[in-house]
Structure 1
């Protein structure tokens, strides 16, 4: 009986270590730039094997060397514009459902300042293998408006699940 448990541990421990180190990686949220979606001191599980899509929340290393968690707004080849709080991707309006509750509360002023990729990054479209990211708390977020686009090589992974604190556990959207 004991030999059975020893064999199970010998098999399972390396498997768990590999999963935790390379596939499902815990990350702590610092700051308030992703509020209300992610709160300061939340812990998320990040994975680094799936494709990046619009509105995914990613973890990356910025040019200043800091690690950030932000939402992907623009993909390679996109032209991004905001006008009067409306997102336009390649000239077409796109809804941001994750901001609906925030905008309702703060409708007395503009939540996302007007911007255009040409003004911000000096190019009409987001370059190949780069992404335009913003925090959900647009007024308090250091993001692509301040440091430019994020190269795909700087992306560590996608946040998938908030697992701590338990009362805030959820699948990240």
Structure 2
């Protein structure tokens, strides 16, 4: 009889531990982080098609973070934050200007050079535009962000779909974990090398 009680007690403890573990897993996956599969080439050469990432769901977004968001009812996109609420944005001859200040986009420098080598020095990697030209307003509206893919000639992004509501953002890409040989932390959208 004592042996049956010990087995019953041990079984209860195991069931309890498993339920707690599953609950923690569900809570963490739902509210803190999630795995994401890169689908497409719009973030090349920073991220490749079928790379696997860990996306965190907490924290404030910063300019140049890589984010995943609901683009529509079926699709999630992964892009880079270029403009935050209140920012003005312009591209002139492959130079980014935010609020009138020029920004160096290190993460696409090699892509720009390769593009110009292939198509000529006058070929623009990111076509000239202003936020007003593309979307009809001077500043990124409140509670939205302006995003672009790193593969500018082949990215469907805010230039096409408009600004992204902050409540559509799933999270920020933090870790590239597959393929394993390329695994790295992503800091402010840059591979941490």
* TM beyond 0.5: yes
CA–CA separation in structure 2 for the residues paired with 1:104 and 1:56: 23
Q: Give 1:33's aligned residue.
A: 42
Q: Give 1:156's aligned residue.
A: 170
Q: Which of the numbers 118, 143, 151 marks the counterpart of 1:129?
A: 143
Q: Which of the numbers 127, 131, 147 marks the counterpart of 1:117?
A: 131
Change (3 A) 1:64 1:142: farther
Deviations, residues 57-86 of structure 1 (Å, cap 9, x unaligned): 111112475210000000100000000000
CA–CA separation in structure 2 for the residues paired with 1:90 and 1:65: 34
TM-score normalised by length of structure 1: 0.92
Deviations, residues 113-164 of structure 1 (Å, cap 9, x unaligned): 0010011111111110111100000011000111111111111111111111
Number of equivalent positions: 173
Q: Which runs of 5+ in 2 are unaligned?
A: 1-6
Deviations, residues 21-79 of structure 1 (Å, cap 9, x unaligned): 32110111100000111111111111111101100011111247521000000010000
CA–CA separation in structure 2 for the residues paired with 1:111 and 1:123: 23
Contact preservation (8 Å) 1:74, 1:132:
yes
- What is the DSSP-based 3-state SS (H/G/I as helix, E as strand, rest coil) of the residue aligned with 2:24? helix
Question: What is the alpha-carbon root mean square deviation over aligned residues?
Answer: 2.0
CA–CA separation in structure 1 for the residues paired with 2:74 and 2:132: 25
Q: Which of the numbers 53, 62, 70 marks the counterpart of 1:61?
A: 70
Please, which moves more after superposition, 29-38 or 4-13? 4-13
CA–CA separation in structure 1 for the residues paired with 2:98 and 2:54: 29
Change (3 A) 1:65 1:119: farther
- What is the DSSP-based 3-state SS (H/G/I as helix, E as strand, rest coil) of the residue aligned with 1:106? helix
Contact preservation (8 Å) 1:63, 1:147:
no
- The 4+ residue runs of structure 1 with deviation greater than 3 A are 2-5, 7-11
TM-score normalised by length of structure 2: 0.83
- What is the DSSP-based 3-state SS (H/G/I as helix, E as strand, rest coil) of the residue aligned with 2:91? strand
Q: Which runs of 5+ in 1 are unaligned?
A: none
- What is the DSSP-based 3-state SS (H/G/I as helix, E as strand, rest coil) of the residue aligned with 1:39? coil
